[in-house]
Amino acid sequence: MAKTAPSSASASLLPWLGLAAIVILLDQITKAMILRTFAYGDSVTITPWFNIVRAHNTGAAFSFLAGASGWQRWMFVGLGVAAAGFIIWMLRKHGGQRLFATALALILGGALGNVIDRLLHGYVVDFIQVHHAGWFFPAFNVADSAISVGAACLILDELLRVRRGR
């Protein structure tokens, strides 16, 4: 039986799924290191503006809904899975658009990295803390960073698309 070549849609999807997998791997490795090394609430000062801290977030960005009774865990898992499905669909359609697809792959990897945490632990492990003069930005992680960079790339992609359209 002869092998058939992969379809162009699946071939163009593979690099983006690979990028998402790298994000997930880096995210989960760093979180495992934090869980193994730090007790909840421990903090180590790295620079005058940067700490490594072990924090748990049962909510969404900026601890939105963290104080809810537990239902939010499953809502955020469901949202993450739904978003992943939509992103994969978008990647299948637009895998040839490099910046757009890179943005989507970063967001996909970040979303799934945090979904894995919610499924394994019931919370997302955060450990990067930036601060200045008594002001502390909420702790975050590699997945959150990938989502933020991906969102910035989406904005840049749209700005470039608008500029090209003039």
**Type of residue at 86:** F
SS3 97: coil
Does the annotation mark 27 as catalytic? no
Q: Spot the catalytic one: 27, 42, 117, 144.
A: 144
* Ordered alpha helix ranges (H), the chain: 8-37, 71-94, 98-121, 142-165
Q: How far apart are CA 40 and CA 81, in angstroms?
A: 27
Does the annotation mark 42 as catalytic? no
Greatest alpha-carbon span in the chain: 68
Q: Spot the catalytic one: 27, 117, 126, 157.
A: 126
The catalytic residues are 126, 144
